[in-house]
Amino acid sequence: MIKRLTFLLFIGFVWNQQIPHGAPMYISLRSDPIFEINLDVPSSIPSSIIKYIKPVQYLNRDYYYFRFIFKKDMPVNFQFIKSDFSDNMQLFFINESIDGYLGPYNKTILQTANSDFSGQLKSHIILIEISVPNNEIPVVPIHKVLIQERPLNFEEKTQSIGRLNPERNPKILLCGYWPPTNECIRQFSRNSLLNPNGWIGENWEGSGYDVISYFPSFIPPDCIDCHQGNGDFEVDYQDTSEDWWNIVDSINPVAIITFSRGYMDYSWELEWQYFNSINWVPDYTSPFLPTPTPPDSLIPFNTARYSTLPMDSIVAAIQSANLGLTPYIDYTNGAGNFLSEFMGYHGVWSKALMDSANLPLYTSGHVHVGGLIDWETAHEAAKVTLREVIKLVDHFQELPGDINDDDVVSILDMLMILSHILSYSTFTEIEFEIADINFDEEVDIFDLLLLSNIILGT
């Protein structure tokens, strides 16, 4: 018992975006029987629960345990009542079947959050741990349990923009840091010291794309409480930002996927939105916050930018791969106000800059990788994700102006545009996209002139 308790105290926990704040004590301290309540979803949480629970006392804290039981396994989130968190309260959501958990949630952490919701748990039984100082009677700070709904503007915000990229082998950039996210992309590193077995990313799987990865190293490599690390993308705001712009400018990627460790479970969580925040969790080295804050001067603070990864396709592909993972899209939260959000924001920020310059960065977004996933499984899931991203990029890399799909841009394609302009014929949706060479959502004389330039090689 003492060894297990010491281990729990040692390992620390990473909250959503890798913030080490400690682990739940339930393995050592839970008492039976635990109060249980059956719930439908969605459902409000009865405030009277706490009076039925006898706390477990340990050192100077009281630990309250209760379970929510649902009719079947389902992906649920909990909505907080932030004002009900006392100064010293901590809360965990625990999936006992895998010894995975979300948390801790406390008053300080939630003050930096852009959402009132927890992360997602997929289970039919969820254990709650609330701890407070001795003799403090807590209020359960949970308003509702619910299932995330897709925002009405989801399709609009995730829309990618296509444009011609003349490079022979365009580059796809992968970034990670805390394990398993550095390990799952290690084989795509061109650094022989980090990847002694050799780079596998050149013309990866015959796709026509070079896949390149960057990540820090940690001692030990399988660390839980990992801190800053060494190398590219250290867990430090200033180091991450400096490395980011140097790397992106040097390789000009057509797609970016950033990875970081998420909840202690088996999730493959695709983050939809990232905030130009003014509230960041301190990192490990002074200056402890981003400089400047907010990082992006182009939009108002706390404004969101959005992932353009093919998220639905990735979720479906991860499910079909039978890797034992739980893939889902996080619609409600940002990415945690720590280095994950910061790195993910840099990705979607880069895409916005490239879009404004009409340059080819087709898609960017962030994946939170569950901390219980083994390295090999995480690597396989990264490859599944990468294949879906390549399908999207391939769509935008189609030969512009090859309207009749004969793999040649010729006078025949010019005649099709001319016929469309004169209303002699109508394009299909796909033909229209290929004919709209300047991406202004019209097919007109300007596209005809651009197509002429392509044919003439000018």
How many angstroms separate the most distant Cα atoms in the chain?
A: 84
Fold category of 154-396 in CATH:
Aminopeptidase (3.40.630)
Any idea which of 2-6, 293-297, 309-313 has the lowest mean pLDDT? Answer: 2-6
Look up the pTM and report it: 0.81
The closest alpha carbon to 177, from 291, 344, 317, belongs to 344
- Structure tokens belonging to residue 183: 């390990």
Instruction: Give the domain ranges of the chain.
Output: 2-146, 154-396, 411-456
Amino acid occupying residue 375:
W
Burial label for 108, CB within 10 Å (0-12, 13-18, 19+), is: exposed
pLDDT, tens digit (0-9, with 9 covering 90-100), for 5-61:
333 323 333 334 444 457 898 877 777 778 999 999 999 998 888 988 999 999 999
Task: Specify whether the CB–CB gap between 366 and 261 falls below 8 A.
Answer: no
CATH of domain 2-146: 2.60.120.290
Q: For 315-327, what is the mean pLDDT?
A: 97
Q: Is 396 in contact with 341 (CB distance < 8 Å)? A: no
Task: Tell me the one-letter amino acid at 295.
Answer: P
C-alpha gyration radius of the chain: 25
Listed in sequence order, the residues at least 6 apart from 234 whose beta carbon sits closer than 8 Å to its beta carbon are 177, 216, 228, 240, 243
- CA distance linking residue 415 with residue 455, whole number of Å: 13
Query: Residue 208: phi, psi to the nearest 5?
Result: 90, 5
305-317 burial, b at 16+ Cβ within 10 Å, e below that, comes to bbbbbbbeebbeb
Spatial CA neighbour of 310 closest among 249, 391, 234: 391
pLDDT single digits (tens) 174-212:
999 999 999 999 999 999 999 999 999 999 999 999 999
d(Cα 31, Cα 26) in Å, to the nearest integer? 9
Are 434 and 416 spatial neighbours (Cβ–Cβ below 8 Å)?
no
pLDDT, one tens digit per residue, over 244-264 is 999 999 999 999 999 999 999
How confident is residue 426, by pLDDT bands cut at 50, 70 and 90? confident
Confidence band of 268 (pLDDT split at 50, 70, 90): very high
Q: What is the pLDDT at residue 216?
A: 97
Dihedral angle of Cα 66, 70, 76, 82, to the nearest 10 degrees: -40
Highest mean pLDDT among 6-10, 326-330, 425-429: 326-330
The chain-wide mean pLDDT, for the chain, equals: 88
Greater confidence (161 vs 20) lies with: 161
pLDDT at 5: 31
Q: How confident is the model at residue 69 (pLDDT cuts 50, 70, 90)?
A: very high
Peptide bond into 104 cis (omega under 30): yes
The tokens describing 449, both together, are 């002139």
Question: What is the CB neighbour count within 10 angstroms for residue 407?
Answer: 7
